[in-house]
Amino acid sequence: MSQTVLITGATGGLGLRAALAVAAAEQGWHLVVTGRGPGLAETRERLAERAPCTALPLDLAELAGVRRFADDLTRRLADGELPPLRAVVANAGVQELGLCFTPDGLETTFAVNHLAHFLLVNHLLPSLVEPARIVLVASDTHDPKRMTGMPAPRFTDPETLARPADTDEERTPSAGRRRYTTSKLCNVLTAYELARRLEDTRVTVNAFDPGLMPGTGLARRYRGVRAFAWRYLMPALIAVPGLNTHTPARSGAALARLVTDPELAGVTGAYFSNGRRTRSSEESYDTGKAAELWEGSERLLTPGGRCPGDEARRR
């Protein structure tokens, strides 16, 4: 049976390794991968050696581009150019240490890590063919009790997260790392809220923590001692038993499992970390905050309206 999986941010690191692992499952998957820059063509060639692959450019920092991408993918699916869409993996992410804004005037980390994927997933909901799976890549850094060395998230309200005040405190690297952990909390809140909204369907929604993957490009903004440690010292932690530190290949295989493993077919509204299902932070189970995030995200994306997938969910 031929079927399509969409994986965002698959030109390297976790996304590429997950795509390779999905291809290795030999379940008839057609890979649709996204990325930016010249590496996309090379990625397609590498993946096409293992499974059918379509590589499409996508800049998650531009919401108009996300809509165009979703419209184009919807058309390709409707025209039979691609097999039925059965899985979406919202993997791409950024960590901006400074206070940066997208062309839409939205704080970049929140816009890319949460809002763009929120828009993309909702836009594609009507195109999903059941049974289907949605996976949002989160991070253990959203949970202060995990002691990851990252600042605790600070969930306020979607509008403030999207447009924080331009202050000296907000321009610091510490504030940038806090915005990252907050965006990862938003990923988990969104996964649980969407799972609740789809509870009468055969579409599952789960959140995934890849663990610490030293040496990858996520920390590309780091400088000085932090950059040196990330690239050359912290990879040694992979060999230490008991730590949630992995190579991209190992984490990619764990992420692919959420798409391919038959034993997980009915699992929804769950959080996976270090290769197993576990509890996320206490705050992530706050249904009031999840609803506030959902409704606020709708307002940011479609003032006065609702997300494209809402009508499909009501049917």
Q: Which two tokens stand for residue 106?
A: 């939205």
| Burial class of residue 42 (count of CB atoms within 10 Å of its CB; 0-12, 13-18, 19+) | middle
Say how far apart CA 221 and CA 289 lie, in whole Å: 30
DSSP β-ladder status, 29-35 and 3-7: parallel
Distance CA 226, CA 177 (A): 13
Which of 180, 222, 271, 285 is catalytic? The answer is: 180
Task: List, in order, residues 6 or more apart from 173 with CB less than 8 Å away.
Answer: 97, 98
Q: What is the DSSP string of 154-172?
A: ----HHHHHS----TGGGS
Beta strand 276-278 pairing with 270-273: antiparallel
Residue 222 annotated in active site: no
Contact 33, 19 (CB under 8 A): yes
Sign of CA dihedral 125, 276, 148, 226: negative
Q: Which helix (H) or strand (E) holds 273?
A: strand 270-273
Neighbours of 288 (CB within 10 A): 7
Best CA proximity match to 135, nearest among 199, 185, 207, 193: 207
The DSSP code sequence of 252-265 is: HHHHHHHHH-GGGT
Q: How far is CA 70 from each of CA 2, 73, 97, 121, 311, rounded to the nearest angstrom?
A: 21, 5, 29, 9, 16
Catalytic residue numbers read 180
